[in-house]
Structure 1
């Protein structure tokens, strides 16, 4: 992809964020539903394939361009962006999969946004895992509980990860994102913000995934190491919200405050990038980013004054969005860091 093509994708993200997502964000929050047109615009602009390498039909973006796109969209409509971000976890996994038949079958449709994907990692991360995998003839049998699965009713495929009870490896496979044999219960998880992500929990009992639908099987250390990239991308959510708050604060006449907040965001972004090779540093930077989002949103509420308390105000929505980033895609270590930062 040429520099012109890359610039076009970045420009498309800004156009969609400012022209489509942010103007509709309060209504999306009120109704708990993302308009179908949001997904269509993202697909038509080529933004469903940004995590795919060029040799597999993607744009081959560098990290800075990918980060800018994610931050831009996150500051416009959190539920749209959070649901869409899950898709890229599946894109990256398929692109790296040794199951080339599955990759070649699914990836072109996924990159084009004709198939929307989601991921369920949370059941595999804890020790012991909440979702367990057992080897059977021709595939794997999964059982357990996947606590937070976003995009149910929006996505077409779900990549679900589980811990192998025999080896401790992490096995990931793709299934249709709908009720089926082996999914004993689908329970809605109502959220006080970003409810339009359509988040559910899944009770899994004997879910069979055949070998031809398996994306990967890796050791737990390798799985956790690979989570650094996803963790870096999750760090774009609070910075995107902080960025939107900063621009609104500046528009309200608080230029010095906006400059100070922008400088803080730039410093956090640099620390997130530097932490890609160090999970402890990355988590520390993510904690700093989430705290910044909360502070920037608080500053926006203060700058807006009484109208910020009305349900129609973007300021109150951004404040709730900032709270979401304190716990979304979190880990115990990140929780402790944030408790420490907010109590010191």
Structure 2
């Protein structure tokens, strides 16, 4: 699918304002919206976690924007599969697993260090969400939003909301991104938005939620491996040692202990930049043209240096690149 459907359209999608509906429909038809669903609700049968990761890598190597929108979906599916809210599970899990309903995700605003950007306040019958959720991808292409807000006791309230604007919900314009512009990534603002108890998937202490973060970080590293792999494939026999280095990076990320995942994730992100740069040099002057895959992959590799990052990943990346954290009085913004 990546080779026959996604890659041939990748440059066109790179310049578009949204991922083609046909791409997402194809993923649904092939069963990929059930990627994280329980066995009885998915047609996919990966022999191992490593094989599942390779599938994500392959899709990202075909079209990063499409994969970015699709991959956001699985947080909702995984959470609903485990929720104690049986009514919500029964109503939404199967349509989500089949791709008849499609979900985005907005968790970062609640789990970021310090004061949460999106706050939860208990009220009769549910919760009030107030604040902003940045980096919501797929707006206008998803039906629901798996979202987290944080209360005064550092408990996350995870809910499944309709992905639509209203009196208390508004979405800004799509961010102007260096890559994956077609993902339609926006900031969604909540103005004392009432979330009924029936739409809450779970409540979980922030500390407990954070213990599962290494697996999310590991999983997202497959996007960088996909970009690196595509750059290497486009070099063909001239890729030299890069193919072996890709295999090593893949094994390291997959096998890293939880405490080593940030460093492994940083390494694959840095490797993607190096592989894309090698392709640009290999192609030569054509890499400067906007209809060349080399410039697209270079921008996508840059995008993935910061996408889904964490402080430990940032520190490892800066160290690997020969730099260091900005001092308190240092210049520059990002």
TM superposition score category, shorter chain reference: over 0.9
Is this contact kept in 2: 1:83–1:197, CA < 8 A?
Answer: yes
Structure 2 residue runs without a partner (length 5+): 324-334
Q: Secondary structure at the residue paired with 2:84?
A: coil
In 1, Cα distance between equivalents of 2:248 and 2:151: 40
Give the corresponding residue for 1:186. Answer: 172
Q: Which runs of 4+ in 1 moved over 4 A?
A: none
Partner of 1:262: 243
How far 1:172 moved relative to its partner?
0.6
Query: d(CA) in 1 for partners of 2:32 and 2:312?
Result: 32
Report the Cα distance in structure 2 between the residues aligned to 1:289 and 1:80, rounded to whole angstroms. 20
Preserved contact between residue 75 and residue 241 of structure 1 (Cα < 8 Å): yes
Bigger share in helix: 1
Distance (whole Å) between structure 2 residues aligned to residue 172 and residue 229 of structure 1: 18
Is the 1:51–1:58 contact (alpha carbons within 8 Å) kept by the matching residues of 2?
Answer: no
Aligned residue pairs total 321
Q: Counterpart of 2:2?
A: 17
After TM superposition, list the pairs within 5 Å mapping 1:1-344 onto structure 2: 16-57=1-42, 59=44, 61=46, 62-126=48-112, 127-165=114-152, 167-250=153-236, 253-255=237-239, 257=240, 260-275=241-256, 277-278=257-258, 280-343=259-322
- Three-state SS of the structure 2 residue aligned to 1:52 is coil
Q: CA offsets per residue over residues 284-303 of structure 1, 9 Å max, x none?
A: 00000000000000000111
* Secondary structure in structure 2 of the residue aligned to 1:343: coil
CA RMSD, Structure 1 to Structure 2 (Å): 1.5
CA contact (8 A) 1:50 1:60 kept: no
Q: Deviations over 1:45-85 (max 9, x none)?
A: 00110111214446464311210110000011010001100
